[in-house]
Chain A
Amino acid sequence: MKSGKTEMIIGCVLVGIIALLAVGSLFGTPYDINAMDNTARMQAPSAAHLFGTDNYGRDIFSRAIVGARFTLIVAVSTVIGSTLISIVLGLISGYAGGIVDEVIMRVIDAVNSFPGILIALIIVTVMEHGSYTIIVALIIMFIPSFTRIVRTGTLQYKNADFVRSNRGFGDSDIRLLLVHILPNVFPLLLSSIVVGLSNAILAESSMSYLGLGIQPPTPSWGRMLYEAQSYILSAPWMALAPGFMIVAAIIGLNCIGEGIRRKYLN
């Protein structure tokens, strides 16, 4: 347990299965995700329909794995986007110090004082309701915490002996930052990146539930749950399938994050 190995294994298995299903959905799904079948409405899970069917007779398993694909696309692009921006901001802020640092950090603090969902709501309100508006919203939501981590790491390393000596050898600031400081700072960010993925999935599915995330007809876990809510008593599988896929994805990512954290702490 100390080394975080158990967490790592559980996490990798859960995330692996979901990622495989999501990638697999690219090559085809058991049923057409939008095919309505009046003769097969709200059927309980069976061999023919693994997770059952919804109120239009659509196959929930097919919809759920396509939903997994879009959720993962949103989560991964969000985390890549916010990591890149945060690395730039954090390195500059930590390395330059002084007034530059103060300005960046005050702005970051101010953004941070909005609860994440409020930021997402603002962006969704002011941007056109495109499919990828949600990615922009989530990127902005994650920048503050990532930037803080990069800044702290930069502060820690900018006057380390190996950085000083390379500075003495005439390395430029940019080279020092990218070649010497960043590779040391990145591991600090790694577990936050993984946890960031799980937060992105949480935020995306919440926004999709509210009708402000991934737009229909593209299936998404959050929207599937919204649609399932009215049928929860007669067809609980409609809600349970996407719901537990969200939970599994988040648990998996949190486990991996915890595993990485323990590995680097010990």
Chain B
Amino acid sequence: MHYLAKKTLILFLTLLLVSLFTFVAFHIIPGDPARLILGTQATDEKLEMLRHQLGTDRPLSDQYLSWIGGFLKGDFGTSIRYSMPVKNLIGERLPVTLLLGLISLALILLISIPIGIFSARVKDTFLEQVISFFTMAGISTPGFFLSILFIWIFGLILRIFTPGQYVSYQTDLSGFLQFMFFPALAIAVPQIATLVKYIRASMLDELGRDYVRTAKGKGASLTSILYSHVFRNAVVSVIPLFGMIIGSIFSGSIIVEQVFGVPGIGRLLISSVTGRDFPLTQALVMYVATIIVITNFLVDILIQVIDPRIRLS
């Protein structure tokens, strides 16, 4: 349990540093945040009021402690633009982003694992070249360009979904899924491409192992070796990438939500940045970073449970 204790300690340390960074970043703003928000025309009274509302008239240590204390209690502060608790704003949009992320994750796993295995199987053939061309293209196409292409081809030409017409999951689940499929795919494609490359490499690596030679010697066919032995090890090798994948899905959704007009956390974040809604941006950054740090922590623990060999290294 030494490992778990160390990991937990690092988790709390990282969260502490993340909160300090976020806080410091938003409090070394050159100039007065109140003035930045209200502009140069603002009256002194209004500035004073906003400073008080933001708490920037109090000492920094006070501000940090009350911010982080509130955060731990689930009070993320108040948005200036929406004049609403950040908690409510997140609450409305979180399910949308989570569902988008889940669909995306499902697509990533369902597509990349079979193609990765297949591309190891067709090693040194024309098909492998085709797959590696597509993985290269997938890795190199920015999510927003892919989204625009999807809107153009599948939305406007083929009319599979109506661009810009978000359908709420509460009113029409199948309409929602139909609308969300392409944003999810746009987020998934670069990850699929990365994973196919990775899975292929780890499959080829596994195929060179002694146990594969033994299985071959016993007369097992390549297919049965691939699916009954190599596959499991290859899947295990993907698990450490989970933390990265989750992070990338989120990063991808920030932009893709914007292109498709999906009312999720990503869109809220961008609008808070462009609208200079500092308390909202700060809270969202902390919130998202916390989710990602904790996910990474859980993935590390999960790897331990599934593959104890890693503990030794």
Q: A residues within 8 Å of B by Cβ?
A: 106-107, 109-111, 113-118, 121-128, 198, 202, 205-206, 209-212, 222, 225, 228-229, 232-233, 236, 239, 243, 246-247, 250-251, 254-255
Q: Is B255's CB within 8 Å of the partner chain A?
A: yes
Given A113-B293, A126-B25, A126-B29, A106–B14 Cβ distance below 8 Å?
yes
Option from B157, B281, B288 in Cβ contact (under 8 Å) with A125: B281
B26 contacts across to A, CB distance below 8 A:
122, 125-126
Contact yes or no, B140 A122, CB < 8 A? no
B248 contacts across to A, CB distance below 8 A:
115
Give 12 new A-B contacts, CB below 8 A, not counting A110-B14, A232-B152, A233-B152.
A106-B13, A106-B17, A113-B293, A117-B255, A121-B281, A124-B273, A210-B270, A225-B145, A229-B148, A232-B148, A232-B151, A254-B140
Please classify the interface of chain A as helix (H, G, I), strand (E, B), loop, or mixed, using the class held by over half of its residues: helix
A202 contacts across to B, CB distance below 8 A:
142
B10 contacts across to A, CB distance below 8 A:
106, 109
Contact yes or no, A122 B285, CB < 8 A? yes
Contact yes or no, A225 B148, CB < 8 A? yes
B77 to chain A, nearest CB (A): 15
Q: Is B296's CB within 8 Å of the partner chain A?
A: yes
A228 contacts across to B, CB distance below 8 A:
148
Chain A's closest residue to B276 (CB) is A125
Chain A's closest residue to B22 (CB) is A122
Contact yes or no, B152 A251, CB < 8 A? no
Option from A109, A123, A210, A225 in Cβ contact (under 8 Å) with B14: A109
Please classify the interface of chain B as helix (H, G, I), strand (E, B), loop, or mixed, using the class held by over half of its residues: helix
Q: Is B143's CB within 8 Å of the partner chain A?
A: yes
Q: Is B251's CB within 8 Å of the partner chain A?
A: yes
A208→B217 CA distance, assembly (Å): 57
Chain A's closest residue to B259 (CB) is A229
Q: Number of B interface residues, CB 8 Å?
A: 48
Interface string of B6-26 (1 = CB under 8 A from A): 000010011001100110011
Chain B's closest residue to A116 (CB) is B251
Given A106-B17, A114-B18, A222–B251 Cβ distance below 8 Å?
no
B130 contacts across to A, CB distance below 8 A:
none
**Residue from A109, A113, A254 whose CB has the most chain B CB atoms within 10 Å:** A113
Option from A110, A116, A117, A128 in Cβ contact (under 8 Å) with B21: A110
Option from B28, B274, B288, B293 in Cβ contact (under 8 Å) with A212: B274
B21 contacts across to A, CB distance below 8 A:
110-111, 114
Option from A118, A128, A254 in Cβ contact (under 8 Å) with B289: A118
B285 contacts across to A, CB distance below 8 A:
114, 118, 121-122
Q: Is B156's CB within 8 Å of the partner chain A?
A: yes
B293 contacts across to A, CB distance below 8 A:
113
B167 to chain A, nearest CB (A): 20
B305 to chain A, nearest CB (A): 22
A210 contacts across to B, CB distance below 8 A:
255, 258, 270, 274
Q: B residues within 8 Å of A by Cβ?
A: 10, 13-14, 17-18, 21-22, 25-26, 28-30, 136-137, 139-145, 148-149, 151-152, 156-157, 247-248, 250-251, 254-255, 258-259, 269-270, 273-274, 276, 278, 281, 285, 288-289, 292-293, 296
Contact yes or no, A206 B144, CB < 8 A? yes
A222 contacts across to B, CB distance below 8 A:
144
B17 contacts across to A, CB distance below 8 A:
106-107, 109-110
Option from B14, B143, B144, B251 in Cβ contact (under 8 Å) with A118: B251
Contact yes or no, A125 B273, CB < 8 A? yes
A123→B278 CA distance, assembly (Å): 12
A128 contacts across to B, CB distance below 8 A:
30
Q: Nearest 4 pairs between A and B by C-beta?
A: A110-B17, A250-B140, A115-B251, A243-B145
Chain B's closest residue to A203 (CB) is B142
Given A110-B14, A128-B30, A250-B140, A121–B151 Cβ distance below 8 Å?
no
A123→B18 CA distance, assembly (Å): 15
Contact yes or no, A251 B137, CB < 8 A? yes
Contact yes or no, A125 B278, CB < 8 A? yes
Contact yes or no, A206 B289, CB < 8 A? no
A233 contacts across to B, CB distance below 8 A:
152, 156-157
Option from B141, B152, B289 in Cβ contact (under 8 Å) with A247: B141
Chain A's closest residue to B278 (CB) is A125
Option from B139, B142, B149, B274 in Cβ contact (under 8 Å) with A206: B142
Given A110-B14, A118-B251, A126-B29, A243–B258 Cβ distance below 8 Å?
no
Contact yes or no, B250 A115, CB < 8 A? yes
Contact yes or no, B152 A126, CB < 8 A? no
